[in-house]
Structure 1
Amino acid sequence: MTTTTTEAQIRELGERWADAEQRGDVALLDELSVDEFAMVGPAGFILDKPQWLHRYRAGDLVTHSLEWDELAVRDFGGTALVIGRHTQRAAYRGNPADGSFRATHIAVRRDGRWRLAGIHMSPIAGPPPSTAAQTREDLS
């Protein structure tokens, strides 16, 4: 099936990316991303493209499962912004790296196709204690 809309093309890119992450397919991840790619991880660390790919190449990161859903795609012409949920079962250097994250993917159109330019991940957590306390006070 040929995709015609930006949203369908971006969703297809996301499916290919998630599959490549699960298989540790460095060649496909390289192909799906631009040279200027950058990732902000869930703990605030920043990886450039060579660092991002090296985690798989060295066997440091093993992704057992990855689900990329709840997608909202915004098309800005040559750039697309995708906000979704990234749920993974993974290990980094043998340590669990499981989690559910709110993730923003940035894609750019290059040579007629969409490629990943960036990913930013934040852990999905409950409200901070101050918010919970404020809510209890509001209900009193």
Structure 2
Amino acid sequence: MKQSIFLFFVFLILCLTPCVSQQSITETREAAKDELLTSIHKFNRAFQNGDVAILESMITSNYVHSNGSSKSFGKEAWVGYLKKRSSKINNGNLEVLQYEMDELELVLHGTSAIVTGRVKVSQKSEGEIVTNSYRVTHLWVRESGKWKRAGFHDGKIK
């Protein structure tokens, strides 16, 4: 009798383990997505405001940036661009009126993620307001427990 009860509990545990594990995996993936979304929003606010220190801390050392108007370039060149842009924001020569990312889709691949979306930008420079929209693709990776952007590409929406 004791052996039957013992075998029943072993069987029950074996049957339930995959369910618990699957639930844990799903919860872990959802938590990772939530953390990534928080990081993306922080990154976008920092870009809108020209906060170079935050942006630099949120990209990988081997960061790759590309867009429709230039060849790809690395972290050093992108941070250089950010510093010039930040200076224009700080001295009033550039005002970012809107920087909004929507149509966001995230696909997790272990400790990395592909993020796609649309960015709508409206900015005022030298008295002229320019508004554009871009399709974007980001590569984000987990480094030291934090999400960092490792790659970026955009294309202007006509």
Common topology (TM > 0.5): yes
CA distance in 2 between partners of 1:97 and 1:45 (Å) = 23
In structure 2, relative to structure 1, the CA distance for the partners of 1:10 and 1:96 (3 Å cut) is: same
1:61-80, aligned counterparts within 5 Å? 62=94, 64=96, 65-80=98-113
The residue type equivalent to 2:151 in the other structure is G
Q: Could you list the runs of 5+ residues in structure 1 that have no partner in the other structure?
A: 126-140
Aligned equivalent of 1:29: 55
Greater than 4 Å deviation, 4+ residue runs: 60-63, 91-97
- Which is higher, the Rg of structure 1 or of structure 2? 2
Counterpart check, 1:113 vs 2:146: yes
TM-superposed CA distance for 1:95, in Å, is 8.0
- Relative contact order (alpha carbons < 8 A, sep ≥ 6): 1 or 2 greater? 1
Spell out, residue by residue over 1:44-99, the C-alpha distance to the aligned partner (whole angstroms, 9 max, x if none).
43231111111221236746021011111000001100010111124689987641
The structure in which a higher percent of residues are helix is: 2
User: What is the match of residue 136 of structure 1?
Assistant: none
Alpha-carbon contact 1:81-1:106 (below 8 Å) kept: yes
The reply on whether 1:85 has 2:118 as its aligned counterpart is: yes
| DSSP 3-state at the match of 2:44 | helix
Matching residue of 1:5: 31
CA distance in 2, matches of 1:55, 1:11: 25
CA RMSD of aligned residues (A): 2.5
TM-score scaled by length of structure 2 = 0.68
> Structure 2: which 5+ runs fail to align?
1-29
In structure 2, the partner of 1:41 is: 67
CA distance 1:46–1:106, change in 2 (3 Å): same
State the aligned residue count: 123
The CA deviation string for residues 13-43 of structure 1, in whole angstroms up to 9 with x for no partner, is: 1101111101111100011111111111232
Give the TM-score of the pair, scaled to structure 1.
0.76
Instruction: Name the CA distance, whole Å, in 2 between partners of 1:107 and 1:94.
Output: 36
